[in-house]
Amino acid sequence: MVVQATARPVQHESLFDSAVEQFNIAADVIGLDDNMRRILSVCKKELTVHFPVEMDDGSVQVFEGHRVHHNSGPGPTKGGIRYHPDVTLEEVKALAMWMTWKCAVVGLPYGGAKGGVTCNPKVMSQNELQNLTRRFTSEISLMIGPNRDIPAPDVNTNPQIMAWIMDTYSMHHGYSIPGVVTGKPLILGGSEGRSEATGRGCVFAIQEYALKYGMNLQESRVVVQGFGNAGSVAARLLWELGAKVVGVSDSTGGIYNPRGLDIGRVIEHKQFSGSVVGFREAENVTNEALLELPCDILLPAALENVITADNAARVQASLIAEAANGPTTPEADRILWDRGVKVLPDIFANAGGVTVSYFEWVQALQAFPWTEPEVNERLQRIMARAFRAVSSTSEKYNVHMRTAALALAIQRVADFTRVRGIYP
């Protein structure tokens, strides 16, 4: 097959419209009153900034960035910062709303936030990225803080970028404030286990599903779309558990071997070549074709809106575990539900990252680090508890697990809002 670069699907409605549609579906299930719907269906604060950055060649480019707070009822807001050419305010708003629900599903004392800069970091030098990050941090500094809003890594951002954010914020205040971000390098107060947390949490979610529904992971075929941090970690952990990972992909394309891939060697190949494409023991496939391969478990771990009304009927997996944010559209959800395909939704399945970010924040406030086994054990316990809550809610209302997770989260945030009341 010919390898093709993945293009983001055309969006007929904004991502935020999809997020609100999902919210209303779940709100109907729990009978949420109109006043609470008005409060929770909008974002509390939206900041858009345009800022200049001096590039290595001496030219100046002006970038657009956003930071959005959806809801701060449960506590400080929490959410990543992404660098990507397609970042928009509508996308950031949707991701902030989903972060509110994600934190509520796993019981964290956070509201939801998100941020992003419209740029292509893959063509920028480290110096240019540092200049952009420090200036963006300065622009949004009125929005963030260890007890106000705590950023973290997201698409195309990493511990080094978090270190620059922490340093810039700390310089503005005159002393070190490690709790302003999570996902930092260990030397600056990062948490053991943070880099693997999203992928590991997704695997914990799959294990809980397998226990409840009698799925034998060692007999399961797995496809992972997106071989970045979350996808590669999840693929490796499932492979180590004995699952047969038959297909993986990154932004340039995918590979497929129905007999199973040696994920350790695939990781080595990507480190050497920069892509999974061209791995000798597999056939090259497109990202679009990868989603429709024969498998038992499909992990979309890249960008949003990849499973749509156009391809949902051709997805062959019996279980979809969403390691990415918003990979499935509402129309696709309905098709999958009618076909009996189970979905572990993003606000639950990829909550491992924000959960260990919470652990990192707690460690920063206490100035007392935990070991990696302690982090992983606490993460597994939280993911297991959240799965039981989502599963029981799904059975109670006879709805799929996304609506159940949303209903559970919305009810929790609504309860916070009612108890706190409305400040006059």
CATH number for the domain formed by residue range(s) 15-21+31-176: 3.40.50.10860
Q: Which two tokens stand for residue 98?
A: 């989903």
Give yes or no for residue 325 having a pLDDT over 90.
no
How do the domains of the chain map onto residue ranges? 15-21+31-176, 197-349
Same fold, 15-21+31-176 and 197-349: yes
CB proximity list for 187: less than 8 A, separation 6 or greater: none
Secondary structure (3-state) at 245: strand
Q: Which of 5-9, 46-50, 122-126 has the lowest mean pLDDT?
A: 5-9
Per-residue confidence band for 5, with pLDDT thresholds at 50, 70 and 90: very low
Give per-residue pLDDT as tens, 83-105.
999 999 999 999 999 999 999 99
Q: Which residues are catalytic?
A: 114
Half-sphere exposure of 415 (CA within 13 A, CB side): 9
Q: Which two tokens stand for residue 301?
A: 């771990």
CATH number for the domain formed by residue range(s) 197-349: 3.40.50.720
Secondary structure (3-state) at 68: strand
Give per-residue pLDDT as tens, 192-202.
999 899 999 99
Report the distance separating Cα 256 and Cα 262, nearest Å: 11
In terms of Cα–Cα distance, which of 224, 284, 222, 278 is closest to 248? 224
Report the distance separating Cα 390 and Cα 388, nearest Å: 6
